[in-house]
Structure 1
């Protein structure tokens, strides 16, 4: 859980600027397109230091390659913590007015938080708008807030079903193509061996919103400072009722993701599937090497038989904080890492691309994964990226909303409360927070 001091820090950042959305009260005047483009070229010629806060491991090689191409540039790559830990540090730097990096890795769900707080540079004038056809729909939509572009996609997380073929074959279980079949498979596996679970889940905000997204739910409506929050639509209800069966029948392993116990479950097959983002393969190989050859990749189960709807889970971007002292050079590095040679290099290192060119590359599609028994898994994952449903929005304070997920929806996993009741409580808590920060929040 995020601490109360963190919540206050974010509240201060948002409250400072929320009522001046669209103005430049929290930053200086925007550069013109021509001036910014010239600044980028001039910055590369002049060189200098660029501090990058990021946890993504493939950026290490990107930084080295960039320095080799531009000897006058020094890239200082700092792991300020994964996800929320880095966001806390970045928010503190914004509030203090000093200590912010030149480039920051920001997950898609968190971009709105920093954009609404005027903490990020709008990148259109630097050339970001010229890449609007370079990326798939989900990531490109995620880096836009209002009419601005506040980051450039670095990778993506179209969802697929990773399943243990060895376990499924042993018990004669067919790979589920719908979520109703998934529930049936969960029952069959657990009945065959009480130590087997279809998946693990102790309550995760990202997974929940992604499955609602895929089902067709659109609980968040964002229009500047006007926000709507509604988890009562038909699609969200269908998700809640389906997942409630897995909870009620105790078909979910009570194991936290990324824990040692979780990796053990993936390795020994007691956790038989994961419905997650396309960035997962490298984590299988490094975290559960003993299961190499046992796992495969399949399309995400559908809420309606025969449909082809997807969603994103995870993925992140690179942004330039307003407080950067070298914005043009920072953008040059971002462009290199996301659309230039660095993008292809990162894919070769195991990152899953957000760029259409890389996703359509014959070499990428034909890559055989020894961990998945030689399967050309990228063909399924690339198809999933094309099926991501449009129209999804996150709250401009989603980081805060996710921090109170365990206090609301999470109760359904440890008490008699239902998911539907938890979602209602989550909506109410999120709405109150938004109202307190100056947003105009509407319910159903």
Structure 2
């Protein structure tokens, strides 16, 4: 799920990033230990002990309960240290202080780089995690791996789809768009039919922007160690900006922030007619927009080129092992259980969207009917999207900071006459300067 980053994180990031590069250059770890010799995980499970897990994802409670039943001598303590940036700040503070570090931590894919570049999470290849290279879908697996290193195990995923209000579309004779050009045409037709209706809402969101650029084939970020390239000038990133600019110029998107009361109201009354978002969204419709049950459906994302099937991820998180944690063997055992096999399937049954191929391909999953979406087997759409996620996407090793300045750069296009292309260039420049200030070699 998209995380809104707060400014109070920036100071911590500046300190951590500076320390990170020093640690990386020296090739040291936070506690001098290495995962190269994982020990006997089986023996550790038999002996038992306590595993502390910092996470906010609700289905981990089910995984922890089932794990404890399977291994009665192991106690899994789940701690909610805050969502997203709040937990990252707490985790960084604990690592710096050298105490209170959990054995396992939930880390969203976009934020994992700042911990791996800091050498503060274990490379799980020492535990044999490479064996899962075919277990997970391409997007999540790519997000947790670099060359031969595995820095976390995917916990869930967010392949994108188009959620649309069928009731509104049918009323105004609008066909479900299969391309983004058709999407713009649909937006015009909808707003002309009723000026109170908008194709979607948008006040600027870093995660949504990068996801659509990802789907378009843009690859603005490249990282090799501490060498970083940031470039939003490529044709495919520009194609996204040009298309989205039409929606902004013609005032075809509602100036409403996602997750606000006005947003829920718009989804409920149909004045916001579509969402392009991750496959984790259904639960939010059910709980947050109950009055519109039966009105909405799910379709594949519109394509940038007619006939393509490209998709991208939006959201999702992993389980990582901080180097300063203590119970490494037990930590890894729980991570593997919660993200693969029976543990993952149990979490899917509780509502998590799987990152595992087996769960995505199971008949039970694919044949699930969603009463909210009029009985539609929406997982078929989501599973196909997961298979079509574009490869080779990467985030910055300081993406948390970059996202935090999105509204001060690209966000200007939503509240002023600043063009999106200029906003992206400003975002690029600010991100380049920050990286250089922290000791990265940044090219543009």
Check whether TM > 0.5.
Answer: yes
Instruction: Say yes or no: does 1:362 pair with 2:363.
Output: yes
Instruction: Say yes or no: does 1:109 pair with 2:110.
Output: yes
SS at match of 2:123: coil
- Match for residue 27 of structure 2 among 13, 24, 34: 24
Larger displacement relative to structure 2 (395-404 or 183-192): 183-192
- How far, CA to CA, are the matches of 1:247 and 1:308 in structure 2? 25
Query: 2:5, 2:403 within 8 Å by CA — same for their partners in 1?
Result: no
Query: 1:369, 1:376 within 8 Å by CA — same for their partners in 2?
Result: yes
Matched with 2:38 is 36
- How far, CA to CA, are the matches of 1:152 and 1:2 in structure 2? 23
Larger displacement relative to structure 2 (23-32 or 350-359): 23-32
Matched with 1:325 is 326
Give 1:390 deviation, angstroms: 0.8
Matched with 1:261 is 262
- How far, CA to CA, are the matches of 1:390 and 1:194 in structure 2? 39
- Match for residue 14 of structure 1 among 17, 24, 35: 17
Matched with 2:378 is 377
Matched with 2:180 is 179
Give 1:37 deviation, angstroms: 4.9
Matched with 2:54 is 53
> What does residue range 33-432 of structure 1 map to in structure 2 within 5 Å?
35-38=37-40, 40-432=41-433
- How far, CA to CA, are the matches of 1:342 and 1:13 in structure 2? 33
Give 1:354 deviation, angstroms: 0.7
- How far, CA to CA, are the matches of 1:73 and 1:168 in structure 2? 53
Query: 1:112, 1:397 within 8 Å by CA — same for their partners in 2?
Result: yes
Give 1:292 deviation, angstroms: 0.9
Give 1:21 deviation, angstroms: 3.0
SS at match of 1:21: helix
Residues 242-296 of structure 1, C-alpha deviation per residue, up to 9 Å, x if partnerless? 1011111111111111122211111111111100111111111111111111110
Residues 214-251 of structure 1, C-alpha deviation per residue, up to 9 Å, x if partnerless? 11111011111111110001001110011011111111
Residues 119-163 of structure 1, C-alpha deviation per residue, up to 9 Å, x if partnerless? 211111122111111001110010013531110001111111000
Give 1:20 deviation, angstroms: 4.7
The 1:113/1:146 distance shift into structure 2, 3 A limit, reads: farther
Query: 1:163, 1:272 within 8 Å by CA — same for their partners in 2?
Result: yes
Task: Structure 2 unaligned segments of length 5 or more: list them.
Answer: none
SS at match of 1:381: helix
Query: 2:38, 2:328 within 8 Å by CA — same for their partners in 1?
Result: no
- How far, CA to CA, are the matches of 1:146 and 1:97 in structure 2? 29
Residues 152-176 of structure 1, C-alpha deviation per residue, up to 9 Å, x if partnerless? 0011111110001011001111000
Give 1:203 deviation, angstroms: 0.3
Query: 1:146, 1:224 within 8 Å by CA — same for their partners in 2?
Result: no
Residues 349-368 of structure 1, C-alpha deviation per residue, up to 9 Å, x if partnerless? 11111111111101111111
**Number of residue pairs matched?**
440
Query: 1:199, 1:252 within 8 Å by CA — same for their partners in 2?
Result: yes
Q: CA RMSD in A?
A: 1.4
- How far, CA to CA, are the matches of 1:125 and 1:96 in structure 2? 26
Matched with 1:436 is 437
Q: TM-score, normalised by structure 2?
A: 0.96
Larger displacement relative to structure 2 (239-248 or 15-24): 15-24
Query: 2:35, 2:124 within 8 Å by CA — same for their partners in 1?
Result: no
- How far, CA to CA, are the matches of 1:192 and 1:134 in structure 2? 47
SS at match of 2:77: strand
SS at match of 1:182: helix
Q: Which aligned runs of 4 or more in structure 1 are off by greater than 6 angstroms?
A: none
SS at match of 2:223: strand
